[in-house]
């Protein structure tokens, strides 16, 4: 069995949390997820804290701006990009302060190249996705930006081991040709799977840290994830329909960040217990036919997706349930 770049029996979050107080959010993460904490994302702070503005803020020599509520490529850096950079700086300052002396694995998150290409507008109109040359420039810019980001965090927390999560919610639509054009009457041409994997691989190879590809959407193209040479994939277990591709990917050595706890409370308002979360992961593992001895090392327990829209009390309960579920799974 391959070695995985995270501790056995670990749990983590997938990024976003409710609220606007980064200090409070980071304290919560270090408190509830001590084995695999992550850098908090707080989209409620507005433009520049959203997944696209935040990801675009890492691009090198490729400035962006807001226009009519959408992010687009700009001629020069402006106030929108400065706001995104300021939010990043505040987040990293809090991470540095509260993670002082931390010597475990720490996870960062950022939007991937295909999700950015399917969300950023060209200055002349239309999505970057329509221009293969622009997509290559975007991918190279993001790869360099993520490399610098990982290096900056290592400088701030020299005892930590960095793990990078690349968020690709648009990836299934990109490879299936389902990204709508501006008119809504058509869709952009599908990106061939080898090309999609090649773009992701450039980011993975440049990052300087192991990469987990996260996609909380149906029909995740696991062959693309594998060909991108990611260390793991983060999925919403409730969206899995065909287990065969997942089984093949895990058998080939891919790690799984198993989204096993709902991101919104049910009508009862009750958060899942750690036993319920652990049973859900264990049941999937059994259906896949893998030995239980591999589970804790290969699988990290997570919520199904980000928690930005959930009540504070539910968020804390879900993170605690995931943490304790991971520890239950390690008790073989």
Reference 41, options 316, 311, 307, 312; nearest CA is 307
pLDDT at site 330? 96
| pLDDT averaged per 10 residues in sequence order, the chain, 332 residues | 91 97 98 98 97 97 94 95 97 97 98 98 94 97 98 98 98 97 90 98 98 96 98 97 96 97 91 97 97 96 96 97 98 80
Closest CA to 255 of 213, 201, 194, 206: 213
Judge whether 216 and 14 are in contact, CB under 8 Å. yes
Task: Report which DSSP code applies to 307.
Answer: -
- The per-residue pLDDT for 2 is 75
* Torsion angle in degrees (nearest 10) through CA of 321, 323, 328, 331: -170
Q: Is 303 exposed, middle or buried (0-12, 13-18, 19+ CB in 10 A)?
A: buried
Gyration radius of the chain over CA positions: 19
CA separation, residue 1 to residues 61, 74, 238 (Å)? 41, 47, 27
Whether the CB-CB separation of 119 and 71 falls below 8 Å is answered with yes
Q: Please, where are the H alpha helices in the chain?
A: 22-32, 51-56, 79-98, 113-117, 132-156, 171-176, 193-207, 222-227, 243-251, 274-288, 295-298, 312-329
pTM of the model: 0.97
Residues 6+ apart with CB under 8 A from 318: 261, 262, 263, 271, 272, 303, 307, 310
Query: Which pLDDT score, from 0 to 100, does residue 90 have?
Result: 98
**Per-residue confidence (pLDDT) for residue 182, from 0 to 100:** 86
β-sheet bridge partners, residue 81: none
Q: What is the pLDDT of residue 268?
A: 86
Evaluate the CA torsion angle 41, 44, 47, 51 in order and state its sign. positive
20, two tokens: 């606007």
Q: Take residue 156 and report the two structure tokens written for it.
A: 């701030």
The single residue listed with the structure tokens 């001590």 is 34
Query: What per-residue confidence (pLDDT) applies to 1?
Result: 63
Residue written as token pair 């622009």: 134
| Contact indicator for 200, 188 with CB cutoff of 8 Å | no
């Amino acid at each position: 069995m391959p070695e995985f770049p995270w501790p056995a029996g670990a749990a983590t979050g997938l990024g976003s949390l409710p609220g606007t107080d980064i200090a409070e959010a980071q304290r919560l993460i270090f408190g509830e997820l001590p084995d695999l904490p992550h850098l908090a994302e707080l989209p409620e702070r507005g433009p520049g804290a959203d997944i696209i503005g935040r990801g675009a803020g890492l691009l090198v020599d490729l400035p962006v701006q807001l226009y009519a509520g959408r992010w687009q490529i700009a001629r020069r850096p402006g106030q929108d990009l400065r706001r995104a950079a300021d939010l990043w700086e505040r987040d990293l300052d809090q991470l540095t302060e509260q993670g002082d002396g931390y010597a475990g694995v720490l996870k960062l998150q950022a939007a991937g190249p295909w999700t950015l290409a399917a969300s950023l507008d060209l200055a002349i109109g239309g999505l970057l996705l329509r221009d293969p040359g622009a997509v290559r420039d975007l991918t190279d810019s993001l790869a360099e930006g993520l490399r610098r980001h990982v290096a900056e965090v290592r400088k701030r927390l020299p005892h930590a081991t960095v793990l990078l999560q690349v968020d690709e919610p648009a990836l299934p639509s990109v490879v299936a040709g389902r990204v709508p054009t501006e008119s809504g009457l058509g869709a952009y041409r599908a990106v061939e799977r080898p090309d999609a994997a090649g773009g992701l691989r450039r980011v993975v190879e440049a990052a300087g840290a192991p990469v987990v590809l996260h996609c909380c959407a149906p029909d995740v193209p696991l062959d693309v994830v594998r060909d991108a040479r990611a260390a793991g994939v983060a999925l919403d277990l409730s969206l899995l329909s065909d287990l065969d591709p997942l089984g093949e990917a895990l058998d080939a050595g891919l790690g799984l960040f198993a989204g096993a706890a709902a991101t919104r409370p049910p009508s009862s308002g009750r958060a899942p217990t750690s036993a319920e979360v652990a049973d859900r992961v264990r049941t999937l593992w059994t259906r896949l036919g893998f030995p239980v001895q591999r589970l804790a090392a290969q699988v990290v327990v997570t919520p199904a997706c980000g928690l930005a829209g959930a009540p504070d009390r539910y968020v804390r309960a879900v993170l605690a349930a995931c943490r304790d579920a991971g520890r239950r799974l390690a008790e073989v």
